[in-house]
């Protein structure tokens, strides 16, 4: 004969909730608890059944091209529009930086195009992730022959970055060495982006 136990809350001997059901929401464990799935057990979740597993997260782009960038000088890339920002941790107004207040490892990525004001003038281009104001990761592209100099080049970078959840932040910087003229960063939503999302503790 099957048995049914009807309760709203199960507690441990100290009075801490182990399982609680209220207003159609089931809470397992309490703050500070570790919930472990034993070896050999399987946790099955239907598609779309979990949410927030890669939060905080954001992606930003530029409202317009960043023009007149000085030759051969590292310049902060001003992604001043948000596509999304789950926890309001990206500053799209002043510093163009991501400062997550939840500690952990994050996948950070960016891509955009550099466009020379003079045709066939881009000799080298570099994109960097800066962490706390210093270089953290870099990608460099250099042409070996003047016959191959492009007018436009797209740069990409991605890196796993660990944040302390309080003061750590990241920004994107870029530099291009051109034979003449200046460079623009093409940052529209179809050509440029800067984003990050949490992947683990």
The string of DSSP codes covering 6-65 is --SEEE-TTS-EEEEEETTEEEES-TT------TT------TT----TT-SEEEEE-SS-
Tell me what pLDDT residue 47 has: 60
Q: Residue 101: pLDDT above 80?
A: yes
The token duo for 87 is 């926890």
Are 18 and 96 in a shared domain? Answer: no
The β-bridge relationship of strands 81-85 and 193-200 is unpaired
**Chain-wide mean pLDDT for the chain?**
88
Query: Which pLDDT band, with edges at 50, 70 and 90, does 144 fall under?
Result: low
Q: Could you tell me the pTM of the whole model?
A: 0.76
| Residue 147 counted as domain residue | yes
Q: Looking at the domain assignment, is residue 124 inside a domain?
A: yes
In this structure, is residue 44 part of a structural domain? no
pLDDT tens track for 185-201: 999 988 899 999 999 88
CA 78 to chain centre: 15
Tell me what percent of the chain is helix, strand and coil, each rounded to the nearest 5.
Answer: 0, 50, 50
Residues 84, 149, single domain; the answer is yes
The number of domains in the chain is: 2
- Report the first-to-last Cα separation within the chain, whole angstroms: 45
Domain for residue 70, yes or no? Answer: yes
- Whether 49 is in a domain gets the answer no
Any domain includes 46: no
Q: What is the pLDDT of residue 127?
A: 96
Q: Domain check: are 74 and 3 in the same one?
A: no
126 and 84 in a common domain: yes
**pLDDT (tens digit, 9 = 90+) per residue, 110-137?**
999 999 888 878 888 999 999 999 999 9
Domain with residue 144: its CATH number is 2.60.120.40
Q: What pLDDT score was predicted for residue 159? A: 97
Residues 80 and 168 in one domain: yes
Specify if 43 maps to a domain: no
Please give the residue range of the domain that contains residue 82: 57-200
């Amino acid at each position: 004969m099957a048995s049914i136990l009807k309760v709203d809350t199960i507690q441990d001997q100290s009075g801490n909730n182990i399982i609680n059901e209220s207003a159609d929401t089931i809470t397992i464990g309490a703050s500070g608890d570790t919930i472990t799935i034993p070896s050999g057990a399987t946790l099955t979740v239907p598609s779309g059944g979990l949410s927030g597993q890669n939060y905080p997260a954001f992606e930003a782009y530029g409202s317009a091209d960043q023009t007149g960038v000085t030759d051969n000088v590292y310049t902060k890339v001003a992604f001043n529009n948000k596509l999304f920002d789950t926890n309001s941790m990206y500053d799209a107004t002043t510093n163009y930086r991501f400062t997550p207040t939840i500690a952990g490892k994050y996948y950070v990525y960016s891509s955009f195009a550099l466009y020379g004001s003079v045709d066939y003038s881009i000799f080298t281009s570099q994109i960097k992730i800066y962490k706390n104001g210093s270089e953290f990761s870099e990608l460099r592209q250099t042409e070996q022959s003047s016959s191959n100099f492009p007018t436009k080049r797209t740069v990409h970078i991605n890196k796993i970055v660990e944040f302390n959840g309080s003061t750590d932040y990241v920004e994107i910087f870029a530099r291009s060495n051109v034979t003449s003229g200046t460079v623009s960063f093409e940052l529209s939503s179809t050509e440029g982006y800067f984003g990050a999302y949490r992947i683990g503790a």
